[in-house]
Structure 1
Amino acid sequence: MDLENKNKDHKSKLGNFKLPKLPIKLPKPPPPPTHLGDVELPKTLMYLLPVGGLFTLAFVGAIAAFVITAWWGQPIPVLGFEQTFDQPINFPHTVHASTKQLDYKDADGNTMMGLGTDCTFCHRTVNKTTAAGANAYIPPVNFCANCHGVIGTEDNSQLNILRDAAGIIGEDGTSPINWRRVHRLPDHVRFVHEPHIRYLSANPEHIKGETDGVSTGPSAVCSTCHGNVASMEKVYQVEPLKMRQCVDCHRDNEAPTDCATCHH
């Protein structure tokens, strides 16, 4: 009983005890910065931030545009990518490859017919199964000079470029003709023309290009990827020549689509 009374008496005394108030006030923390002006940055960095942002945005946009056009369409005309070029000699495929009546007139003033020359007559490497068949090489100037050494007037400035390069006129005949390539595939792609020409020549129903005014045979086959070159005053790229196009064509014709077919 005495112990219980002591505990009650002790609790009553503690209940009346109050802690004294401390007179010390803690300082309030500074408010967070509400805008960039509240943050102390070097003045140079303040000017560089918006400029860097614009450059970053432009760079990302350029990469996105390049990737989109690289997959879905023609390359954008920057960094050397163009669909056509001015060549050192205005070589008209209409005269050489077309089978139609032309607007050109010969030396006697008569309207000309296209010669209807097959593509493989000049681009002879496309029928080879070796590494040379991977490119449709332009023939050497002496090959062209076999005809144009005597065909064409002597004052034809375009033909004289060829004749000079072939050594027919001029002093040394060492002026090369720097043709500019129009159709180009990436270096990691190996496209051999010969099997494509052989297959499509045997299966002309699979030829997808325009063949109006084009001679039958390989010339018609070439239109699948290169368009109707026989109707072009200046050769230009008409197909995107992208991987998706090649894979779709291989699938349609039950050709192999494994990576080693083209990438080896």
Structure 2
Amino acid sequence: MRYFIEFSYNGKAYHGWQRQPKASSIQQTLEDAMSTLLRDKIQLVGAGRTDAGVHARQLFAHFDFDSKLEKAEVVQRLNAFLPEDIAIKNITEVSPKAHARFDALERTYEYRVVQEKDPFATDWAHYVHLPLDMGAMNLAAAELLNHTDFECFSKSNTDVKTYVCRLKEAKWRREGNTLIFTITADRFLRNMVRAIVGTLLDVGLHKSSVDNVNSIIKSKDRGEAGVSVPAKGLYLMKITYPETLFKLHG
């Protein structure tokens, strides 16, 4: 039987989602805990991967297990077993062909920027003390929706077949002293969101312009885009699936 597991995590102590030989990862921590509790080798296939230090409010993975699970009990036992920076939200039985990565329709990220020094935001947001022109940043963000090839925002030497991503949303909003950038697309390239935010912050600082953003995207050159902002301000917020995926088993 195939199951989807929904979880969230604070990524500060981890080198990202993906299992690595000599570094702590979310995938390894989850797989080890589940294998111990279920007394079977559990292998997770994630909906995507986050880089070192990035957080997730919602992420899904699928796994196969021969027996029927008492899902609520497994969730409770896993949460008691896992470290405090990883939380299991739900386990759902799905079709044997359901796939956490390939069935995902959209992914939504947020990036948080604070404008005043705040010791309580040190690990959770990027501090920019200079004034930012949010109107200009939103004009530049809107221009992103006119493009589909985002090679200029991709990490160099990334083994991907296409740089095409279809954006649905890209905008800034203010909540108190925090500026929050929200971006939704069918897929994202490695480092893409952090490079986009760095480029938009250049616009907000009047180091760049909306026209420059268009030129950067057309250049397909990572060296033309802004610097990647720190991982600590980035949150994977939501994965969207077809409604039927979670209704197959009532």
TM value normalised by structure 1:
0.28
- Structure with the larger RCO, 1 or 2 (CA within 8 Å, 6+ apart): 2
Pick the structure with more helix per residue: 1
Pick the structure with more strand per residue: 2
TM value normalised by structure 2:
0.29
Tell which structure's C-alpha radius of gyration is larger. Answer: 1
